[in-house]
Structure 1
Amino acid sequence: METNTHALTVLFDLDGVILDTETQYTRFWDEQGIRHLGVAGYGHRIKGQTLAQIYARDFAGKPDIQAEISCSLQRFEHEMSYEYIPGVQAFIADLRAHGVSIAVVTSSDEAKMEQVYRAHPGFAQQFDRILTAGMFTRSKPAPDCFLLGMELFNATPEQTFVFEDSFHGLQAGRDSGAIVVGLATTHTREVLDGKAHYLIDDFSRMTHVQLLAWSLLRN
């Protein structure tokens, strides 16, 4: 199959990148950390990880606690707010108008995505593909999810942009070879310094032209 060496590909994380949900998740997981592990700051510790990863690392052999957390999380995700990060919808529309391949690459599962679709009925139609946790064996910080996105679009790392906010996601993007843009939505710019090729606060100034300029600098 011939590789697409001309058009750009953009792979977006979901929470903290497209949707302004990370602060809500931080509060939820901070509460779980205190309740079940007796530790503070648990919400930041698990950023970018799938639920399966969290359970395997910190709640292995505790099915009752896993079931309790899953039930609480399901209720929480049904009630939480799913506001867009400023400028992201206009940026996505600009990319689509210029023929850019676009995918969501998230550690969320299908149950969570159903809540997103409920909040935004036209959400899925903004993207070419939506890749969720069950579609790749190794989750972030492994680069598998982004490598799969490139494979689906026949894209090279040099022409692929990854937009991420979490440490695990940023590492996965870098290890995939893509051009990584970090969003200072979950962490400050100071904390993210050196972890991405570029840093932005939101998408209010992002355009297709900007991506082209960055891709030319890469090449």
Structure 2
Amino acid sequence: MLNKYYPSREFKALLFDFDGTVADTMGVHLAAWNHGLSIYNLTLSREQHLAWAGRPTRMIVQMLNELHKVDIPVDEFLKAKEVNYFASVHEVKEIVSVVEIIKHYHGKIPMAIVTGSRHKPVETTLSHLGLTKYFDHLVCAEDYVHGKPAPDCFLRAAELLNVRPEDCLVFEDAALGIEAAKNAGMACLKVDDRHELMVVEF
């Protein structure tokens, strides 16, 4: 299937961003953000949410604090946002074009989720979608210090899978994630707004 995009390359690992790449979670996440922010009389626009996609939630709360000169307690907010997200997780659907690739290469090429989301929401959503078994590792926000566009998360996944970075193919929907893939020295396929795949030229 990947020969369509890279006819002359063979990859040894496939690394998938999660939100907006494997699972169509962005609407549910945005609603959870705004439910939590409402008590501070703040809102997060869809455009801002998409622009910050890929950053760990903790970092986004800190950025909101700086932007709006408020003091949202990070850990408390994270817990509340996750409760709101879990209440609507049944609304999340898989992104078919990407999941077809995941299922096709399962057992043939090792795969990992690499995300700015925390373990619990990712694990809960994978379970809801029946996709848990397809991934060898989950690299989530708790597993690295520097978020996308830093390459740390992708390099950590390559290390866990015992594969050289240049032998990894990344699937990403967000600009920050694509930049992180570039910084990690990895090839990248972008998942666009229509959930179609396109090669990213660096």
Scaled to the shorter chain, the TM-score interval is 0.7 to 0.9
Q: 1:27 to 1:78 in 2, by over 3 A?
A: closer
Q: 1:102 to 1:50 in 2, by over 3 A?
A: same
Distance in 2 (alpha carbons) for counterparts of 1:154 and 1:83: 31
**Identity within the alignment, %:** 24
Give the one of 61, 71, 83 matched to 1:55.
61
Is 1:163 aligned to 2:171, yes or no? yes
Distance in 2 (alpha carbons) for counterparts of 1:165 and 1:55: 21
Is 1:89 aligned to 2:99, yes or no? yes
Is 1:22 aligned to 2:26, yes or no? yes
Distance in 2 (alpha carbons) for counterparts of 1:186 and 1:25: 19
Alignment of 1:156-195 (within 5 A): 156-185=164-193
With the length of structure 2 as denominator, give the TM-score of the two structures. 0.76
Distance in 2 (alpha carbons) for counterparts of 1:71 and 1:28: 9
Distance in 2 (alpha carbons) for counterparts of 1:68 and 1:149: 28
* Structure 1 counterpart of 2:102, one-letter code: I
Q: CA RMSD in A?
A: 3.2
Structure 1 counterpart SS, 2:93? coil
Give the one of 68, 79, 86 matched to 2:88.
79
Q: How many residues align?
A: 187
Structure 2 counterpart SS, 1:103? strand
Partner of 2:121: 112
* Structure 1 counterpart of 2:148, one-letter code: K
Per-residue deviation, 1:50: 0.9
Distance in 2 (alpha carbons) for counterparts of 1:25 and 1:127: 22
Per-residue deviation, 1:188: 9.7
Any gaps of 5 or more consecutive residues in structure 1? 1-5, 199-219
Any gaps of 5 or more consecutive residues in structure 2? 1-9
Give the one of 159, 166, 169 matched to 1:151.
159
Greater mean deviation of Cα atoms: 65-74 or 79-88: 65-74
* Structure 2 counterpart of 1:23, one-letter code: G
Query: Which deviations, in whole Å up to 9, do the C-alpha atoms of 1:68-104 show, x marking residues without a partner?
Result: 574144223331322110133331122124x211111
Structure 2 counterpart SS, 1:11? strand
